[in-house]
Amino acid sequence: MAAAPSFMPSAFPFNASPFDCLTPDEQRLVRASVDIAYFPEGAVVLDAGSAPTHLFVIIKGYVTQTEGEEVLATYGPEDSFDGCGLMTGRLHSRFVATEEVVAYQLAREAVNELIACNTTFGALLFSDLGQKLSALARRAGQHELQSLTMARVEQAFLRPAPVVDADTDILTVVRLLQAQRVKNVLVTGLADGALGIFTHTDLQRAILDGRPLNQLTVGALASTPVVTVHASDSLGDAMVLLLRKRVHRLVVLEDSGAVRGVLEALDLFSFLANHSHVITVQIEHAQDLPALAQAAAQITRLLAALQRGGTRIGLMAKLVQQLNAHLFEHAWSMVAPADLVDNSCLFVMGSEGRGEQLLKTDQDNGLVLRDGYAAPPELDAICQRFSEVLASFGYLSHPGRS
């Protein structure tokens, strides 16, 4: 990448989203923090797995965003990218100049400051709503943009918050992290009476300490104090708190003071972006069928948001197919005995199986059993139960067997 000297032309697109909501002082901050960057055709602007340091606003040319071999989006003049990757600290997509590109690059520190003092800017940036704004306005739904940050914390996906005593050894905590598929535990019983938190980062410190993990207590390495937010607070306030405190998660409390869960930064930004990541995490962490039903309902809401944003139908269909397959697999593991799950293959046919389905319709499912496996005598009843579960999620399922 070749960067031009640091100067700020008067032509910066302050009339384009998300910069059209900035105050004069905030515009001055942009002018003081922006450079010009140049990328020849075919150059990689941002690569998957890297940690971005700038938000880009295209002046000339086009940039294509891909994941694997799939094209997710194309950005042109006055479009900005990649706000979500900038804040989460890691990119999941690759951005390549499809023709010669000249772009503004706004430093991450300036973007953080803008988000901290202007939640509307943050909502527009993380929701990738620059292209959605005109469509939403035509649908008299511009209030939906504001409602993203005004939504309550409890409406976002909250991860489980296991609690352990300060005297618990690190090895036991690691087993708990693995068993519950979480990245942190809350710690009580600390000397000062405060609530602490132990994360994967603290685990690295424990390993580097050199002593056996079963001889180290979690209380000795827990971080305090935790940063908390109430379930009834707005997501906009939560986002500002994350940035001001420079943390990656917030402990969510009920008004009574009881712990409700943990709000991860990635989950917050994904909620604001209407991203499928939140649904995937909901499915993975679902402990029962009602929790899976909530995730199924989110798939339809995601489709509505993607349609309003002009997402290609083919991409929407592939996304829905992946989410549905994940959902069906998890539901089957809850309905069927473990032995049957290990010795069978559930498959979906028809439009859903071909990846052509968007909204929930009737479908045909099949079950292939491993050669030599003796199916349980209640197999038909299990398949019928699975169909009933999918029907309760809004899918009309016809069980099959071979």
Distance CA 252, CA 158 (A): 8
pTM of the entire predicted model? 0.47
User: Contact at 8 Å (CB) between 244 and 166?
Assistant: no
Which residue is listed with tokens 């697999």? 329
Which ranges of the chain have pLDDT less than 70? 1-10, 87-88, 119, 123, 126-150, 243, 270, 272-278, 301, 304-316, 350-364, 396-402
240: Cβ–Cβ under 8 A, 6 or more apart, which residues?
115, 116, 119, 122
CATH superfamily of 163-268: CBS-domain (3.10.580.10)
H/E stretch holding 56 reads: strand 54-60
Distance CA 305, CA 298 (A): 11
Within 13 A of 3's CA, how many CA atoms are on the CB side?
A: 11
How many H-runs (helices) and E-runs (strands) does the chain carry? 16, 18
Q: What is the DSSP string of 109-165?
A: HHHHHHHHH-HHHHHHHHTT-TTTHHHHHHTT-THHHHHHHHSBGGGS--B---EEE
Among 390, 383, 376, 365, which residue's Cα sits nearest to residue 343?
Answer: 376
Instruction: Name the segment(s) of the chain with CATH classification 2.60.120.10.
Output: 2-139
Buried/exposed code over 173-210 (b: 16+ C-beta within 10 A; e: otherwise): bbeebeeeebbbbbbbbbeeeebbbbbeebbeebeeee
Instruction: For domain 308-398, give the CATH number.
Output: 3.30.460
Distance CA 157, CA 102 (A): 38
Among 88, 117, 110, which residue's Cα sits nearest to residue 35?
Answer: 110
Which residue is listed with tokens 């600390």? 190
Q: 15-69: per-residue pLDDT in tens? A: 887 888 888 999 999 999 999 999 999 999 999 888 889 999 999 999 988 877 7
Question: For position 21, what pLDDT does the model report?
Answer: 84
Question: For position 131, what pLDDT does the model report?
Answer: 41
Question: For position 166, what pLDDT does the model report?
Answer: 95
Distance CA 50, CA 52 (A): 6
Q: Which CATH architecture has domain 2-139?
A: Sandwich (2.60)
Question: For position 225, what pLDDT does the model report?
Answer: 87
Locate the DSSP E strands across 130-280.
163-165, 184-188, 196-199, 228-230, 249-253, 259-264
- What is the strand order of the sheet 396-398 is part of? 344-348, 362-369, 396-398
Question: For position 134, what pLDDT does the model report?
Answer: 39
Distance CA 156, CA 191 (A): 33
Among 29, 46, 37, 47, which residue's Cα sits nearest to residue 115?
Answer: 29
- Identify the bridge partners of residue 261 per DSSP, sorted by sequence position: 252
Buried/exposed code over 99-123 (b: 16+ C-beta within 10 A; e: otherwise): eebebbbbbbebbbebbbbbbbbbb
Instruction: Name the segment(s) of the chain with CATH classification 3.10.580.10.
Output: 163-268
Distance CA 227, CA 179 (A): 25
Instruction: Name the segment(s) of the chain with CATH classification 3.30.460.
Output: 308-398
